[in-house]
């Protein structure tokens, strides 16, 4: 009975929170995370995070990243690759250096400050993709260039994070080998999955539900191989989505995505992922003034660096002020990179508990501020079709 009660509260929260908070111009993603804070162990405590909820949340994160990869228009992405690469490198350099010095200023040691720098340099594909989709500009030229930049930043960030977790003075050679393994893994997925998928889908032409089973199989095989190599599961899922999308015709893509996978992901698993993020946030840490200082410095520095570097990078490649501002704001949200930073920092003993909580709080705060700001601007200053 407790299980049914728990899932009743979860489903009710996922359903009602976006409806109630929509009148305050709060996006659905943010509304679900706020609902998670309210019902979670650090709020009212009506729902606790157990193994089953963690499992559903993990599936949600994987689905979100896979669908983000599926939605990437490869033709437009390749056309805008130079712009995406420039935005990614420009923003990552400014934010990474700034994050390192902020971490050092707050008292972290060399490795801890490096982790902070990587967190600042990284982006969250999942949140940015969900926001672009909610705003209806995910397939626009602007949206594709931005998503491409975010993808490149997150892949680079994840490689750096995974490398830092293995680096020591005596294992530099091993770290270089690891980077090579990651690059070969990504290249292997992009070459093999389209080749296999085309042939399997041809044999399953009259069995559409079997195509779903095959896609799920491919996702988890890719993740298992990626875990062996050391690649984050969310990155594995995203690359798999890009590779599967490359194998499909437009009709197959739309049928598989819109009629099947979106329904599976967005109806249940993905909302649970965002709800669980909220449930893991302990707002009681703000009662300690020292923690408040660390949090304000971290979040304030991140927002300033992300907005400024994003704005400047878009302006430098010819976008107008409004779209450049949108581009800067949309690079603010953080999810996967901070989660990995928190985990790696804790495992290496270079990230004290108050910094660990700060990183988790950063996820929620940045995921609230950017969606509200960008949605307000889009509503007030909408992009015309030719501007998108």
pLDDT score of 311: 94
pLDDT score of 248: 77
Q: How many CB atoms lie within 10 A of CB 201?
A: 21
Contact partners, residue 7, CB within 8 Å, separation at least 6? none
pLDDT in tens, 84-135: 999 999 999 999 999 999 999 998 888 888 889 988 988 877 778 778 877 7
- The Cα–Cα gap between 74 and 54 comes to 32
Q: How many CB atoms lie within 10 A of CB 55?
A: 12
Question: What is the number of alpha carbons within 13 Å of residue 378 lying toward its C-beta?
Answer: 21
pLDDT score of 169: 41
Does pLDDT of 250 surpass 50? yes
Report residue 48: phi and psi, to 5°. -105, 155
- pLDDT category of residue 384 using cuts at 50, 70 and 90: low
Q: What is the pTM of this model?
A: 0.77
Choice among 135-149, 172-186, 263-277, 310-324 with the minimum mean pLDDT: 172-186
Q: What is the dihedral of CA 193, 196, 198, 203, to 10 degrees?
A: -140
- State the chain's maximal CA–CA distance in angstroms: 63
Q: What percent of the chain has pLDDT over 90?
A: 21
Q: How many CB atoms lie within 10 A of CB 249?
A: 10
Instruction: Kindly tell me the sign of the dihedral angle through the C-alpha atoms of 39, 41, 44, 45.
Output: positive
pLDDT score of 223: 93
Residue 140 Ramachandran class (φ > 0 left, ψ -120 to 50 alpha, else beta): beta
- pLDDT category of residue 283 using cuts at 50, 70 and 90: confident
Query: 5: exposed, middle or buried (C-beta count within 10 Å: 0-12, 13-18, 19+)?
Result: exposed
Contact partners, residue 388, CB within 8 Å, separation at least 6? 137, 140, 141, 142, 143
Structural contact between residues 119 and 338, judged by C-beta atoms closer than 8 angstroms: yes
Architecture of domain 2-387: Up-down Bundle (1.20)
- The Cα–Cα gap between 218 and 221 comes to 5
Q: Which two tokens stand for residue 369?
A: 């501020």
Mean pLDDT (the chain, rounded): 82
Q: Which two tokens stand for residue 25?
A: 């111009």
| Per-domain residue ranges of the chain | 2-387
| Residue 95 DSSP symbol | H
pLDDT score of 112: 86
pLDDT in tens, 189-204: 989 999 998 888 888 7
Structural contact between residues 131 and 374, judged by C-beta atoms closer than 8 angstroms: yes
Choice among 15-24, 138-147, 176-185, 256-265 with the minimum mean pLDDT: 256-265
CA 64 to chain centre: 8
pLDDT in tens, 332-352: 887 766 766 776 777 677 788
pLDDT score of 177: 77
Does pLDDT of 170 surpass 50? no
pLDDT score of 322: 85
Summarize the confidence of residues 271-290 as an average pLDDT: 79
Choice among 52-56, 118-122, 245-249, 301-305 with the minimum mean pLDDT: 245-249
At 13, which helix (H) or strand (E)?
helix 2-21
Question: What is the number of alpha carbons within 13 Å of residue 341 lying toward its C-beta?
Answer: 35
């Amino acid at each position: 009975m407790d299980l049914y009660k728990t899932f009743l509260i979860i489903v009710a929260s996922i359903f009602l929170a976006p409806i109630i908070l929509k009148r305050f111009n709060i996006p659905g993603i943010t509304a679900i995370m706020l609902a998670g804070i309210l019902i979670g162990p650090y709020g009212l405590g009506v729902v606790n995070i157990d193994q089953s909820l963690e499992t559903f949340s993990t599936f949600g994160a994987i689905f979100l990243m896979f669908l983000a990869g599926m939605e990437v228009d490869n033709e437009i992405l390749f056309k805008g690759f130079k712009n995406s690469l420039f935005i990614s490198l420009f923003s990552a350099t400014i934010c990474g250096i700034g994050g390192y010095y902020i971490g050092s200023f707050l008292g972290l040691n060399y490795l801890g400050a490096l982790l902070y720098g990587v967190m600042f340099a990284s982006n969250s594909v999942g949140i940015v993709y969900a926001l672009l989709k909610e705003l209806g500009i995910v397939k626009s030229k602007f949206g594709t260039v931005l998503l491409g930049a975010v993808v490149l930043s997150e892949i680079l960030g994840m490689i750096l994070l995974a490398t830092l977790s293995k680096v020591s003075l005596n294992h530099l050679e091993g770290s270089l080998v690891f980077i090579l393994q990651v690059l070969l893994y990504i290249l292997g997925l992009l070459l093999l999955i389209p080749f296999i998928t085309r042939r399997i889908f041809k044999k399953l032409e009259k069995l559409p539900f079997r195509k779903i089973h095959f896609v799920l199989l491919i996702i988890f095989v890719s993740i298992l191989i990626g875990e062996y190599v050391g690649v984050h599961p969310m990155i594995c899922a995203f690359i798999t989505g890009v590779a599967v999308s490359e194998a499909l015709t437009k009709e197959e893509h739309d049928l598989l995505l819109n009629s099947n996978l979106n329904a599976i992901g967005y109806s249940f698993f993905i909302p649970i992922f965002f709800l669980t993020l909220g449930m893991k946030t302990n707002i009681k840490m703000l009662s300690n003034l020292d923690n408040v200082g660390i949090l304000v410095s971290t979040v304030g520095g991140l927002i300033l660096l992300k907005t400024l570097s994003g704005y400047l990078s878009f302006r430098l490649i010819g976008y107008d002020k409004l779209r450049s501002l949108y581009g800067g704001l949309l690079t603010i949200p953080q999810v996967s990179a901070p989660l990995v930073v928190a985990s790696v920092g804790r495992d290496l003993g270079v990230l004290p508990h108050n910094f660990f909580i700060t990183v988790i709080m950063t996820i929620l705060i940045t995921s609230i501020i950017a969606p509200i700001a960008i949605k307000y601007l889009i509503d007030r200053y909408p992009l015309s079709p030719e501007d998108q």
